[in-house]
């Protein structure tokens, strides 16, 4: 099997097949959970950079990048440090809403998830499109059952395909002049 065929097979590997090989689990917070508690959860599990927000039935209702939680805390402590980002009416409106955030539900965005039958290719594509570094994996009832992280996935990918790792880490060898 050629390297190209192996590469294609890896892209078709399902999330269910790869999730148990990754060392990162989901970080789940409730929509009504206060931001200080959310920040503490994020600190306790720093490798999970996208929080899954769930309702009282444990079904995902949104996601929050950990960076958003940090920005919110900074906005409460030192709002002037974030005022530089306010450049237009839309960013002013966002800033006003965010400074008023009190619970996870105030900061969350629409849920972006993977399913166990999603492929590694689907995961890379979704993370790239959404600009998230990880995504929760949900079951048929939209309950969070796992977490796929872009960096962890890339590292595992390189471990499984050492020839790809060499092409990433080894500098190209310049052509030698012929005498």
Can you give the CATH number for the domain in which 103 is found? 3.10.580.10
Residue 176 lies in a domain: no
Look at residue 169 and tell me if it is in a domain: no
How many domains does the chain divide into? 1
H helix count then E strand count, the chain: 9, 5
Longest dimension (CA), the chain: 75
Per-position DSSP letters for 36-98, written without gaps between them: HHHHHHHHHSTT--EEEEE-TTSBEEEEEEHHHHHHHHHHHH-GGGTGGG--SHHHHHHHHHH
170: number of Cβ within 10 Å:
8
DSSP 3-state assignment of 119?
strand
How long is the chain? 179
Angle separating helix axes 120-130 and 150-160, nearest 10 degrees = 140
* Cβ-contact 80, 95 below 8 angstroms: no
Residue 104 predicted with pLDDT over 60: yes
* 167 within a domain of the structure (yes/no): no
State pLDDT tens for residues 124-156. Answer: 899 999 999 999 999 999 999 999 988 887 777
Q: Tell which wins on pLDDT, 6 or 66.
A: 66
Please state the pTM of the whole predicted model: 0.74
Residue 135: count other Cβ atoms within 10 Å of its Cβ. 26
For residue 105, is it within any domain? yes
In a domain, 39, yes or no: yes
- C-alpha 119/C-alpha 135 separation (Å) is 13
What would the pLDDT profile of 6-33 be if each residue is shown by its tens digit? 555 467 888 887 766 677 889 999 999 9
Q: Is residue 172 part of a domain?
A: no
């Amino acid at each position: 099997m050629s390297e190209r065929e192996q590469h294609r097979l890896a892209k078709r590997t399902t999330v269910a097949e790869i999730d148990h090989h990754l060392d990162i689990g989901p970080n789940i917070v409730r929509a009504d959970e206060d931001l200080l508690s959310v920040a503490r959860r994020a600190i306790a599990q720093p490798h999970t950079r996208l929080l899954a927000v769930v309702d009282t039935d444990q079904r995902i209702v949104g996601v929050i990048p950990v960076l958003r939680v940090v920005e919110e805390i900074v906005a409460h402590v030192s709002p002037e440090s974030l005022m530089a980002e306010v450049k237009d009416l839309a960013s002013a409106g966002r800033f006003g809403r965010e400074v008023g955030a009190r619970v996870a539900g105030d900061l969350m965005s629409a849920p972006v998830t993977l399913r166990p039958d999603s492929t590694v290719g689907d995961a890379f594509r979704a993370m790239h499109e959404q600009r998230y570094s990880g995504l929760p994996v949900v079951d048929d009832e939209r309950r969070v059952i796992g977490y796929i992280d872009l960096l962890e996935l890339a590292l595992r990918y390189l471990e499984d395909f050492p020839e790809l790792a060499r092409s990433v880490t080894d500098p190209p060898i310049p052509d030698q002049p012929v005498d």
